[in-house]
Amino acid sequence: MKYWQKIMTVTWKDTIAEMRTREIISSVLVFTLLVIVIFNFAFGTNQTTLNLVAPGILWVTFTFAGVLSLNRAFVPEKEQGCLEGLMACPVSREVIYVGKMLASLLFMLIIEAIALPIFAFLFNLPVLSLQIIVITVLTTIGFVTVGTLFSALAVNTKAREMILPILFLPVVIPIIISAVLATGTALAGGSWSELASSLQIIAVFDVIFLVVSFLVFPYVIEE
């Protein structure tokens, strides 16, 4: 099998498991909806206030949704002893990383693809623009590159679900900052060139952490 085929096999395995249980997508989606509704109570229904806080609401929601779904990326593997099976496969650890990461990316994007229209609908905001979609996709890539690495790490600690946010959140702060900034500019009708500097930071983060996580991942799951 070629490299890409191996990666796709791992991704496909996760996708089938998810299609059967719908564990991640359905629960995280409900969670996302609840967070959006609760934020609505927290900030009231004043449209000017909402315009101001919308980027923050959106990214707090997506960040927590990310933590929640990434937490589940390795827990089932660990609980059912699948991780040993996966490592016994004739594929390198890096393949496992990329495969799992792509699966998490897919789930996150599906969740966001459903959550964004709901957000637009409930808050009466034009978040379905190409600009915001680009920001969301780039930032989500950043989330899953580090998130998959830390998720594999967290599942091998005593605290499991507790440890992922503690590791994940401080590291992704720069892209959350940039995403919030860019979303705010985009909602205010800013041009692409005004978004450039934020998008650059997110893109640099994505590339750097894809490489770093790829290199470091094998050490995390070795027995």
Partner 1 sequence: MLRKLLVWLGVTLMVFSLFLVFVYVPTERTMGIVQKIFYLMVPMGWLAILSFLIIFVGSIFYLAKKSRRWDNLAFCGAETGLVFTTLALIIGSIWAKPIWGVWWTWEPRLTATLVLWLIYIAYFMVRSFASEEYRGATFAAVVGIVGFVDIPIIILSTTLWRGMHPGPIIFQGGLEPAMLFTLLVSLAAFTVLYVLILTQRVSLRNDQMELARLKELYH
User: What is the spatial distance between Cα 133 and Cα 137, in angstroms, rounded to a whole number?
Assistant: 6
Contacts 24+ apart (CB under 8 A), 208-214: 209/142, 209/145, 209/146, 210/141, 210/145, 213/97, 213/101, 213/145, 213/146, 213/148, 213/149, 214/94, 214/97, 214/98
Q: Which of 30, 37, 38, 166 binds partner 1 (CB under 8 A)?
A: 166
Cα distances (angstroms) measured from residue 64 to each of 51, 57, 165: 21, 11, 9
Residue 198 touches partner 1, criterion: CB under 8 A = yes
Residue 173 touches partner 1, criterion: CB under 8 A = yes
Residue 209 touches partner 1, criterion: CB under 8 A = yes
User: What is the spatial distance between Cα 145 and Cα 147, in angstroms, rounded to a whole number?
Assistant: 6
Give me the count of residues in the chain.
223
Q: What's the min distance (Å) between Cβ of 196 and partner 1? A: 11
Query: Please, which residues have CB within 8 angstroms of residue 23's CB and are 6 or more apart in sequence?
Result: 72, 76
Residue 75 touches partner 1, criterion: CB under 8 A = no
Q: Interaction with partner 1 in 113-152: which residues (CB under 8 A)?
A: 146, 149
Residue 81 touches partner 1, criterion: CB under 8 A = no
Residue 175 touches partner 1, criterion: CB under 8 A = yes
Residue 90 touches partner 1, criterion: CB under 8 A = no
Q: Which is nearer to partner 1, 99 or 147 (CB)?
A: 147
Residue 83's CB is within 10 A of a number of other CB atoms, namely 19
Residue 188 touches partner 1, criterion: CB under 8 A = no
Say which DSSP state 161 is in.
G
Q: Which of 38, 113, 128, 212 binds partner 1 (CB under 8 A)?
A: 212
Q: What's the min distance (Å) between Cβ of 139 and partner 1? A: 12
> Which range binds partner 1 by CB under 8 A, 71-79, 87-95, 123-131, 194-202?
194-202
Q: Which is nearer to partner 1, 114 or 204 (CB)?
A: 204
Binding residues for partner 1, how many (CB under 8 A)? 32
With beta carbons less than 8 A apart as the criterion, state whether 120 and 127 touch.
yes
Residue 155 touches partner 1, criterion: CB under 8 A = no
Token pair for 11: 């991704």
Residue 162's CB is within 10 A of a number of other CB atoms, namely 11
Residues that bind partner 1 (CB under 8 A): 146, 149, 153, 156-159, 162-163, 166-167, 169-171, 173-175, 177-178, 181, 197-198, 201, 204-205, 208-209, 212-213, 216, 219-220
